[in-house]
Structure 1
Amino acid sequence: MKSSPPLAITMGDPSGIGPEVIAKTLAHGGERAVVFGSYAVMEFIVRLLGLDVKVRQIETPAQAHFEPRTIELIECTRISVHPAFGRISAVAGRAAFDGVVAAIEAAKSGTVSGIVTAPLNKQAMGSAGIPYPGHTEILAHYTGSKRVAMMLANEDIRTVLVTVHTSLRRAIQEADYEAQMSAIRLAHEGGRTLGFARPRIAVAGLNPHAGEGGKFGDEEGRIIRPAVEAARAEGIDASGPHPGDTVYMHARKGHFDIVVAQYHDQGLIPVKYLGLRKGVNITLGLPFVRTSPDHGTAFDIAGHGIADHTSFQTALAYARRLIAAQPA
């Protein structure tokens, strides 16, 4: 039986811990994955870590052999010297971006089965003149996807965000009825992909105490509750709005499968508080699977060889799980 295409792994910002966690993960062998990035960077990291691993440059994913102690890599950036660790650099920002775009094109063509991304740095990309605030926006633009959402998942809770990388002021404006419906529907679809036959979705309120009956804001009654009711009419098991300060407690107790959060920190703080080792970011609404570890570039420890690659391993495992769940 013919094997499925390998996964694509994007190198991330070379000034951060992305290349390190990739090298540590692939050093164990057994992963059908190809790195999209810089040969010079990955070779430097392998030597720095003292790994008995070879970096093998290939032109296409189909050329990968997946031999033991070998990292298969497609060169997709012009960076030739490893930049300084822990510093914002336009060169590093461009290299990270180039890897993501190349991997997207490979996924769109079907030569890779999905993408696992190492962290990039928004300031570094900005210094290179790249206008996107994060992976989600890059992926949406280069795939032409109209409905995308970020799902953060760990062993205890899963959350989908209505708004992502924007100011809190703009998040309040952007969390309109259409955004609520999109997030609830994507949460339902994502939950089914993760194995929940009928995901129980709790929608968090925007204001303290979910508005306290209109005393602390009217968004719950004017926007969120009508969206929940419309979703239920579509057959989605949605409820809310629930107070944001208690909804994750109930989800962790098993009362809900997925929480729809209104803005970035409302959703990410509970997930990250439980620890980054098992946290995974999943982008919903794309034509292919994309996951990433739930941590950033960690400039403060980059280059010291102490980065924990557990979350990256978990992101790979989630990607394989999601790909296996796709209809044939």
Structure 2
Amino acid sequence: MENTPRIALVMGDAAGVGAELTAKLLACHDEIRNIRLIVLGDRKLLQNGARIAGVTLDLPVVETAEGLALEPGRPVLLDLQHKDADAIPVGRPTRESGAFAMRNFGAALDLGRTGAIQAICFTPFNKQAFKLAGNPYLDELHWAADRLGAAGRVSEYNRLDDLWNARVTSHIPMAEVPRQLTREAVLEAIFDTDRTLRKAGIAAPRLGIAGYNPHAGEGGLFGREEIDSIEPAIADAAAQGLAVAGPFPADTVWLRAKRGDFDAVVTMYHDQGQIALKLMGFSRGVTILAGLPVPIATPAHGTAYDIAGTGKADLGATLAAFRTAVAFAGNSPPS
């Protein structure tokens, strides 16, 4: 059992549904039976999350991970002892809720950097709360990359069941997108997607590439990004043996993907994929932070401030994110 996956489960934003989802996941004993799991957060908030979720938890609590030997099926809570965490206002982003999530996430990244864990799953963060707490980056991806010392391209992916979405551009203003859609950037995204899916256990990924303009440009009638950047990048990738097709109009490529033509769709900007996947399965979607030394997965939905504390949070996406983290860990070299 020494090679069973080592996973860090991070309690997310304290003002949202993170504690409740963490408790619900820990109550799924079949899911964690063969996992060496460390939970990072706060004992009082986890207890409150269990109360809201209507589950009973019995986790050993430690105050340091140094020298900790994780055992399969026996999760341990690393209590970071957040001062006044149980007094954080529920239902809105604050500096305190962002600091809670950042401290938990940072501790997990440190465990990943030392090799103590192989993958991370976190319940939802809030980017505004992160910014209020001092995150100098636009999102948690690039903060994680810096803390882990990642070299090369890092990217955010989305997954719904067996269907993946990748992006050439992500968290940038729409006005910046056309300038960043170079042949080189599209090709890099295609190769990164192929590598990421292989690491997740897909032996020969099939990639569908979305166009940028309406009707994929209609031969240049509605824009030249397809002609100047996207089509040449697809040809480059195909010449190097990748299974790629496109560019397809963004309003039809997902129909092809849904019927099973592709394992992933590479989109040109954030909402080309997010809208499609969330419509197809909001409660099952997963976000993956890839290109990092430690793979990271989280539910694709947000902190759900509007239902925090009500017990209504759906576990589906968190469970899918946890399974994704386990899959990545299982495909990494044993240590």
- Tell me how many residue pairs correspond in the alignment: 327
Runs of 4+ in 1 over 4 A off after TM superposition: 64-68
User: By how many angstroms is 1:156 displaced?
Assistant: 5.3
Aligned counterpart, 2:38: 34
What are the equivalent positions in structure 2 for 1:1-328 lying under 5 Å apart? Answer: 1-4=1-4, 6-29=6-29, 31=32, 32-58=36-62, 59-60=64-65, 63=68, 72-76=76-80, 78-82=82-86, 83-145=88-150, 146-155=152-161, 157-328=163-334
CA contact (8 A) 2:98 2:126 kept: yes
Q: Which moved more, 1:248-257 or 1:149-158?
A: 149-158
CA contact (8 A) 1:61 1:111 kept: no
Q: Secondary structure at the match of 2:314?
A: coil
Find the aligned partners of 1:4 and 1:71 in 2 and give their Cα distance. Answer: 13
CA contact (8 A) 1:282 1:292 kept: yes
Find the aligned partners of 2:228 and 2:293 in 1 and give their Cα distance. Answer: 33
CA contact (8 A) 2:201 2:327 kept: no
Instruction: Name the CA shift for 1:260/1:77 in 2 (closer, same or farther; >3 Å).
Output: farther
Instruction: Name the CA shift for 1:88/1:148 in 2 (closer, same or farther; >3 Å).
Output: same
- Counterpart of 1:179, as a letter, is A
Identity %: 35
Query: What stretches of structure 2 of length at least 5 have no aligned partner?
Result: none
CA contact (8 A) 2:21 2:49 kept: no
CA contact (8 A) 2:127 2:140 kept: no
User: By how many angstroms is 1:225 displaced?
Assistant: 1.2
User: By how many angstroms is 1:196 displaced?
Assistant: 3.1
Q: Which moved more, 1:51-60 or 1:241-250?
A: 51-60
Q: Secondary structure at the match of 1:214?
A: coil
Query: What stretches of structure 1 of length at least 5 have no aligned partner?
Result: none
TM norm structure 2: 0.90
TM norm structure 1: 0.92
Instruction: Name the CA shift for 1:218/1:141 in 2 (closer, same or farther; >3 Å).
Output: same
Q: Secondary structure at the match of 1:153?
A: strand
Q: Secondary structure at the match of 2:247?
A: strand
- Counterpart of 2:58, as a letter, is K
Question: 1:154-211: CA deviations, max 9, x gaps?
Answer: 1252111111112111233223233212210111112223333321111111111111
Question: 1:33-78: CA deviations, max 9, x gaps?
Answer: 211222232233224444321353211175366698x762223463
User: By how many angstroms is 1:12 displaced?
Assistant: 0.7
- Counterpart of 2:166, as a letter, is V
CA contact (8 A) 1:7 1:113 kept: yes
Find the aligned partners of 2:113 and 2:299 in 1 and give their Cα distance. Answer: 22
CA contact (8 A) 2:214 2:249 kept: yes
CA contact (8 A) 1:42 1:55 kept: no
Instruction: Name the CA shift for 1:55/1:46 in 2 (closer, same or farther; >3 Å).
Output: farther
